Chain A
Amino acid sequence: MSSDGIDLELDCRGMLCPLPVIELGRRHTEVPVGGVVAVVAEDPAARVDVPAWCRMRGQEYVGEDTAPDGVARYAVRRLV
């Protein structure tokens, strides 16, 4: 795990919905259960859709912060 608690960061800059969530759906299994995946995306829909994905897929939405370049980053803990 890196110092900021993120095990895997998915660079979804420049992607439009639903691509960031597709990326999350495809790659979240690369971290073990209990690990944290983060989606970095400019797409404004990601702010709603990442938490919605967590709810629908039984995962935990951890919260939002920003990447060093100011782009929003949404963190998810893998529960299943």
Chain B
Amino acid sequence: MAAAPDAPAPAHVHLDAAAGTPLHPAAREVLAAALERGYADPRALHGPGRDARLLLDNAREVVAECLGLSRDEVWFTSPLDAVQRGFLGLAAARRRVGAELVLPAVEHASVRHAARWWADLRGGTVHELPVDRVGRVDVTAFAAAAAPEGVAAAALQLANHEVGTTQPVDGLALPDGVPLFVDASSSLGTLDLPHGRWSAAAGHATSWGGTPGTGLLLVRRGTRWTNPFPGDPEPQDHGGALPDVAGALAAAAALRATLDEREAVDARRRRLVDRIRAVAATLPDTEVVGDPVDRLPHLVTFSCLYLSGEALVRELDRAGFGVASGSACTASTLEPSHVLAALGALTHGNVRISLGREVTDEDVERLTTVLPEVVARLRSEVGL
């Protein structure tokens, strides 16, 4: 039966969870209560300050327990600051050794920019390692690149933010003394921290349904770490600025809830992404990018020959789906995604889909109908 002409359009489905998700329901009440009670400076000695301190300590305790760390290894700060201080704090502690930094070519822009800034400032070099067709770095080549004298620190992401491929962090055996920074900004809450040796890490509360301005700076006990920026040499919440107590509590509550439901939610997201991958693979002249198995459970990227990423994003939005793209025409520069380029993957016609916990089977079924129609329509306009 045809739908009535005045049938309401289906609700818009957010398929760009990697860039932002609705606050986890478990964090909502906590956030409201924390804004009510945790407004004061937790370092102050008065009553409201002590209240805020209690709340912040509680958030730190919860996060540490969720991640299997100790309280003194967890710091709350902005997501970008967590990456910059996490990585460069390791380099700063070894500034007498040198300023050579080693990382794969597919690290997040924030890691690459931080590395280049530090290397330029200290007269060092950034050594970017190639990746294979799915975006994975070779651990033997990585360890070899970190062996020369003068290497201050290395960085390796837990999983790639654009194509989802996990990196073999646990298989990496760096030379003695070279500390490893792990960027877990797109994966914490979904993937466990590495079991092997790492010195500092960064997390972004968006990846587990916390507030978008909250990040985690994790510095292992016994690590040589020095603040690379002005201020106290030791790690501090928010680099010593007024801590965001409410954001920390919301992040802690959301992380605990996310880990509690992770098995079920991520099994479903993995199954739905498998479904989208399968449909994308049947589209003519389309390549699905990234590792099909060892990947983030909720993210899939594919590129359609002859199409513009901008048109795909626009047409899918019109059909009720919000997706991202790594194509140059959707960015503020003419440069295509450095991740897609490093993989040698087609950079135009790119679509990146990431599922939040709220996406349903019905949403994905509708997408699998709409997507081939949109691609066929745009292709017919090109005439190829």
Contact = CB atoms under 8 A, between A and B. Distances in A.
B28 to A, nearest CB: 42
Interface string B288-332: 000000000000000101111000000000000000000111000
Nearest to A52: B346
B336 A22 contact: no
A75 interface: no
Contact of A45 (B305, B306, B347): B347
Most chain-B Cβ atoms within 10 A of its Cβ — which of A18, A48, A56? A18
Contact of B305 (A16, A51, A56): A56
A48 B334 contact: no
Given A17-B308, A17-B328, A25-B306, A53 B346 contact: yes
B384 interface: yes
Interface string B329-341: 1000011100011
A68 interface: no
B306 A17 contact: no
Contact of A56 (B285, B308, B329): B285
Given A17-B329, A43-B334, A53-B305, A22 B347 contact: no
A48 B306 contact: no
Chain B interface main SS type: loop
A48 B384 contact: no
Interface in B329-384: 329, 334-336, 340-341, 344-349, 382-384
Contacts, number: 68
Contacts of A37: none
Contacts of B349: 18
Nearest to B336: A45
Contact of B347 (A25, A26, A49, A57): A49
B334 A26 contact: no
Given A16-B334, A44-B335, A26 B384 contact: yes
A53 B329 CA distance: 18
B61 interface: no
A45 B344 contact: no
A76 interface: no
A53 B383 CA distance: 16
B287 interface: yes
B346 A16 contact: no
Chain A interface main SS type: helix
Contacts of B346: 48-49, 52-53, 56
Interface string B246-269: 000000000000000000000000
Interface in A22-46: 22, 25-26, 43-45
A46 B303 CA distance: 14
Contacts of A56: 285, 287, 305, 346
Contacts of A72: none
Contact of B306 (A21, A43, A51): A21
A45 to B, nearest CB: 4
A49 to B, nearest CB: 6
A43 B334 CA distance: 7
B328 A22 contact: no
Contacts of B347: 17, 45, 48-49, 52
A18 B348 contact: yes
A43 B336 CA distance: 10
A71 to B, nearest CB: 14
Interface of A: 16-18, 21-22, 25-26, 43-45, 47-49, 51-53, 55-57
12 contacts: A16-B329, A17-B329, A17-B348, A18-B305, A18-B349, A21-B348, A25-B305, A25-B384, A43-B328, A47-B341, A52-B346, A55-B344
Q: Which 7 A-B residue pairings sit nearest by Cβ, starting from the closest?
A: A18-B348, A52-B346, A45-B336, A17-B348, A48-B341, A45-B347, A25-B384
Given A18-B306, A55-B344, 19 more contacts: A17-B329, A17-B347, A18-B348, A21-B305, A21-B306, A22-B306, A26-B384, A45-B334, A45-B347, A47-B341, A48-B341, A48-B347, A49-B347, A51-B344, A52-B346, A52-B347, A53-B305, A53-B346, A56-B305
